[in-house]
Each structure stands twice: as C-alpha cells, then as structure tokens.
C-alpha cells in the first residue's frame, strides 16, 4: 500500500522525549502559522481524561494536532469525531481489517471490542473564543495498560500488536493519520457535522444496545439510540429519551 502524501500546509514535529505532546503544542501555539502535528517517542508527564495520569511505553503512539479554529466552542468540540474517524481510517489502511475497528462515544477507538486508543481535546483561549485546539491521541500500538489499573466496568485495554500480530511504527501511523484527518477536517469545514455524524454512526459500537452513561454523580441506563446534531449521546431510558452532552459510557 502506497502512503498518501503529507497534507499541504501542515507542520510535522517528531520529538524523542517530551513532557506531553499537548503541553508542547500549547507552547508552540502562539507562533503557529498553520496546523501542526507533534509526535513524541516518550512522554514524561502525559495525562488522559479528567487529568488522569497516562503512561505509555516507547513504541506506542503519542501525538497532538494543534489547530487554530474559527468556530464557536461547541462547534470546535465536534472535531473529536473527525479525529476518531481519521484514526479509524488510518488503522484500517495500515491493517486491512475494516471490521475490527469501531468507535465508542465520545472519543475512543476500539479494536475487537477493547480500547485501543483515546482522544483528548484541550482548547486554549480566553472567554468564549477558542484560539487554539489541541487534539491529543494515544494509541496502544505495541502494549496496553495493565487491566488491573483500569476503572471497574471500563473496557479492557488492548494493543494493535496483541490483537492482530501486526507491528506498526508510530511514524507509519502518523503518516497515515495526518492525511486522513485532513480529509475529515475538509469535510467538516465545508459541509458541517452531518457527514461526520453519519460516518461515525456507521461505525459506532453498541448502537441500539443497552449502555450506561455516567455524568458526575448521575448514572443513566438505557438503549443507545443515536448521536444528535450537536454530538450529544441520545439514549432511551425508563424515563424517556435523553440527550447527554458529556458523560463516561460503560458497556
């Protein structure tokens, strides 16, 4: 398979070691003239959702895309769907296994039903204006976290190597991911969220099945019906249909 060309106008920074690619992106942001990808072989102070520590060995994928968006914050946040779709596209292109990769709301990529990758969006700005958006992506290419360290009820972590036997380098993934993201970014900025929503739902895990959504101290059980035009999770619960803008989802 021939690699797609690197997207025009997008910078590429490959580092051996960094505190975190999102933190490096924030430092780079004021001087950016366009989008930039930052990838590191090793992160010493990485973090996941809700500020949780994130540890990943050399050989796994750790990268951040930093952009200068122009839309309102609630529109900017929909790029998590673009990132998930692009990552799935890149994984399928590198493995030839389209049926193995699914998407979990709000922003995880699954392999054979286990968690392969996570995506973390952080916005930089003042007031209601987003000046820069950092999209951090971590992928278990060669090793997954110890299942004993995962929250009870969360999906089992998996690695690409462990599930498929394929050894994909971080550089190869970056070279597939950058053009894939550029395509979804183009679709998003020219056609809006609709094409992303439709494509995401086509690959959604547990659509039409029972799930549990937890927001703070509130937990809801119901059937995962769809994702609405704002990116919210729509569930049918015992109390009726609810749209949930942010939550942790358990299967």
Name which of 27-36, 68-77, 108-117, 144-153 the model is least confident about. Answer: 144-153
- The band of 145, judged by pLDDT with boundaries at 50, 70 and 90, is confident
Question: Where are the domain boundaries for CATH 3.30.930.10 in the chain?
Answer: 11-202
Rounded Cα distance, 79 and 84, in Å: 9
CA 176 to chain centre: 15
- Phi/psi at 126 (5° precision): -125, 135
Question: Where are the domain boundaries for CATH 2.30.30 in the chain?
Answer: 210-250
Query: Sign of torsion, CA 199 134 61 189?
Result: positive
The closest of 27, 42, 59 to 134, measured between CA atoms, is 27
What mean pLDDT comes out for the span 115-124?
Answer: 92
pLDDT of residue 44: 87
pLDDT digits 0-9 by tens, 154-181: 889 999 999 999 999 999 999 999 999 9
pLDDT of residue 125: 75
The CATH code for residues 11-202 is 3.30.930.10
Mean pLDDT of the chain: 92
pLDDT digits 0-9 by tens, 176-219: 999 999 999 999 999 999 999 999 999 999 999 999 999 988 99
Per DSSP (E only), the strands in the chain are 11-18, 36-43, 61-67, 101-104, 108-111, 114-126, 129-139, 210-215, 218-227, 233-237, 240-244, 248-250
3-state secondary structure of 7: coil
pLDDT of residue 196: 98
Determine if the pTM surpasses 0.85: yes
Which CATH class for the 210-250 domain? mainly beta
């Amino acid at each position: 398979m021939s690699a797609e060309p690197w997207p025009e106008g997008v910078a590429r920074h490959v580092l051996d070691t960094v505190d975190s690619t999102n933190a490096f992106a924030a430092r780079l942001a004021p001087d950016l003239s366009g989008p930039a990808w930052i990838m590191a072989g090793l992160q010493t102070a990485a973090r996941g959702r809700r500020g949780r520590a994130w540890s990943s060995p050399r050989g796994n994928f750790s990268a951040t895309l930093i952009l200068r968006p122009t839309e309102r914050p609630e529109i900017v946040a929909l790029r998590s769907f673009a990132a998930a779709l692009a990552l799935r596209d890149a994984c399928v292109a590198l493995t030839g296994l389209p049926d193995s990769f699914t998407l979990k709301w709000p922003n995880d990529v699954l392999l054979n039903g286990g968690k392969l990758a996570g995506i973390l969006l952080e916005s930089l700005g003042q007031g209601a204006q987003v000046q820069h958006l950092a999209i951090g992506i971590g992928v278990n290419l060669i090793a997954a976290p110890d299942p004993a360290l995962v929250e009870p009820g969360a999906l089992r972590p998996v690695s690409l190597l462990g599930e498929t036997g394929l050894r994909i380098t971080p550089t190869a993934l970056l070279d597939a991911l950058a053009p894939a993201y550029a395509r979804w970014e183009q679709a998003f900025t020219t056609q809006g969220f609709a094409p992303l929503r439709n494509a995401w739902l086509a690959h959604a895990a547990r659509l039409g099945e029972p799930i549990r959504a937890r927001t703070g101290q509130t937990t809801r059980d119901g059937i995962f019906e769809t994702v609405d035009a704002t990116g919210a999770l729509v569930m049918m619960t015992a109390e009726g249909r609810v749209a949930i803008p942010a939550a942790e989802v358990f299967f």
